Amino acid sequence: MKPFLALVKRDLTLGLRRKSQIYQPLVFQLLVVTMFPLGLGSGAKTLALIAPAVIWILALLASLLTLDQIFKNDYDDGSVESYVLSSSPLSMAVLAKVLAHWLLSGLPLVIFAPVLGVLLHLPTASYPILMLSLLIGTPIFSFIGSIGSALTMSLKHGGLLLTVLVMPLLSPVLIFGAGAVVESALGNSASQHLMLLSGLLVLSFTLVPFAAAAAIKINLE
Amino acid sequence: MSIIIATELSCQRGQFDLFRPVTFELNHGQSLLISGPNGIGKTTLLESIAGLRAISQGELVYQNIELSKNKDKWFDDSFFIGHKTGNKKELNCLENLSLFLQIQGIDISQDQAEEALEKVGLGGYEYQFAGSLSAGQKKRLALARLLLIKHPVWILDEPFVNLDVAGCEWLLGVLNNHLDNNGILIITAHDNQSIRERTTQELILEMAQ
């Protein structure tokens, strides 16, 4: 357990010193969301209609901005080698990396979501479901992203490849996440969508550490 | 029976063999210097021995068990420092040293880390970011780990690079001490006569046919 905590602590310290990993996704979201009223040119009703989809797509795109960093820096400076050679399992290191990435890049998106909701006239009643769905959904971005990052870490410009690899895998998350918010905006129960989303989270929690560990080993060969 | 036995070991890059298969045996207190021209595959061989890459041909046995079946024990007992040191430029020396070892499952106290930095010549630099160190100091920061570990097998890739004369002498002392304490050392080094005299075996890699 100690190596796990040490790795999380190190990554959080690094993230708080680099800062860009935290504020870049938020600034990106804010800039894009302000373009929607300008581009659409129509009133609050249309905005409220598209708000769930826009917020969820922005969360997805904002996550993609930082996903390649999960293992890229560590590969460049040799830290990845130390995870492989460590006596604790490589999958635990993956889990620690994912947790740290989510705390730095995913959690801020969840907290920031109501601001986007206000800008897009999302019905107030949907805010709890919006935040809850993002709370379940954004860790899945970090999980699946870690596989993509492990596969592309040795490439100089692997960002686009990572997006192509990861996007299709993340589309169910988008469907159920945005779906939950749409249902709640219509006054229906969102529990069905949220449960499916939770299922995806459990699935990625159990499978991804092994998949990403295998991807790291392939990449070092 | 030797602790480490390598038979007809060879490494590939793509589909090509890098060097002629090598065979060696190592026991407690013994050391192996791997040399050869640039690009022959010294680093690849070291990384394969350390367990970072698969061995494409031949057999490596540690304590009578084939390495691929004995990985946990091997990772517990061996310590590798390569060209890429794993230090983060946004962390200070103290954080780099202690967090790196903690991530590897080695528990050390703040005092131990400070003492090691002092010994390695980085006293006074404890709270300096690693990014602002010179190349030689970065190397010293990585080598400070050697003072805090108890692994019997050390695998070092060009540890003398970037070190000044005093640094080389210090490192030589540390390696001597390790070997005197029945440690095992596998090392690559260019143009270092002192280490050549100290090591018990030298392996010169030759081009594969």
Q: What is the DSSP string of B32-79?
A: EEEE-STTSSHHHHHHHHHTSS---EEEEEETTEEGGGSHHHHHHHEE
H or E stretch covering B206 = none
Domains in chain B, CATH or no CATH each: 4-204 (3.40.50.300)
- If one counts the domains in chain A, the total is 1
A77 in B contact zone (CB under 8 Å): yes
Asked if B105 and A87 come within 8 Å (Cβ–Cβ), the reply is yes
Residues of chain B with Cβ-Cβ distance to A82 below 8 Å are 86, 100, 103-104
- Owning domain of residue A128: 2-220
CA distance B60 to B49: 8
Residues of chain B with Cβ-Cβ distance to A76 below 8 Å are 84
Distance from CA of B61 to the nearest CA of A (A): 17
Distance from CA of A57 to the nearest CA of B (A): 32
Residue carrying the six token digits 């970011």: B129
Asked if B51 and A3 come within 8 Å (Cβ–Cβ), the reply is no
H or E stretch covering A47 = helix A44-67
Residues of chain A with Cβ-Cβ distance to B75 below 8 Å are 85-87
What is the number of other CB atoms lying within 10 angstroms of the CB of residue A123?
Answer: 16
Residues of chain A with Cβ-Cβ distance to B52 below 8 Å are 81, 84-85, 220
Tens-binned pLDDT, residue by residue, of chain B (209 aa):
788 999 998 888 778 888 889 999 999 999 999 988 888 889 999 999 998 888 888 889 999 898 888 888 999 999 999 989 889 999 999 999 999 999 988 888 899 999 999 999 998 898 999 999 999 999 999 999 999 999 999 999 999 988 999 999 999 999 999 999 999 999 998 767 788 888 888 888 888 77
DSSP H stretches of helix in chain B: 42-50, 71-77, 93-103, 110-119, 135-143, 165-180, 193-198
ipTM comes to 0.90
Identify the closest residue of chain B to A10 by CA–CA distance: B99
SS3 B28: coil
Site from B68, B71, B103, B104 to mutate, A interface, most A CB atoms within 10 angstroms? B103
A1 in B contact zone (CB under 8 Å): no
Asked if A77 and B87 come within 8 Å (Cβ–Cβ), the reply is yes
Residues of chain B with Cβ-Cβ distance to A17 below 8 Å are 90-91
SS3 A127: helix
Nearest to B84 among A14, A78, A221 (CB): A78
Identify the closest residue of chain A to B95 by CA–CA distance: A10
Asked if A88 and B85 come within 8 Å (Cβ–Cβ), the reply is no
Looking at every residue in chain B, the average pLDDT score rounds to 90
Asked if A85 and B78 come within 8 Å (Cβ–Cβ), the reply is yes
SS3 B137: helix
Asked if B104 and A84 come within 8 Å (Cβ–Cβ), the reply is no
Asked if B52 and A87 come within 8 Å (Cβ–Cβ), the reply is no
Tens-binned pLDDT, residue by residue, of chain A (221 aa):
889 999 999 999 999 998 888 999 999 999 999 998 888 887 888 889 999 999 999 999 999 999 989 999 999 999 999 999 988 899 999 999 999 999 999 999 999 999 999 999 999 999 999 999 999 999 999 999 999 999 999 998 888 999 999 999 999 999 999 999 999 999 899 999 999 999 999 999 999 999 999 999 998 87
pTM given for the model: 0.92
CA distance A213 to A90: 6
Say which DSSP state A161 is in.
H
* pLDDT tens, position by position, B78-123: 999 998 988 999 999 999 999 999 998 888 889 999 999 999 999 8
Burial A69-87 (b: 16+ CB within 10 A, else e): bbbbbbbebbbbbbbbbbb
Asked if B83 and A78 come within 8 Å (Cβ–Cβ), the reply is yes
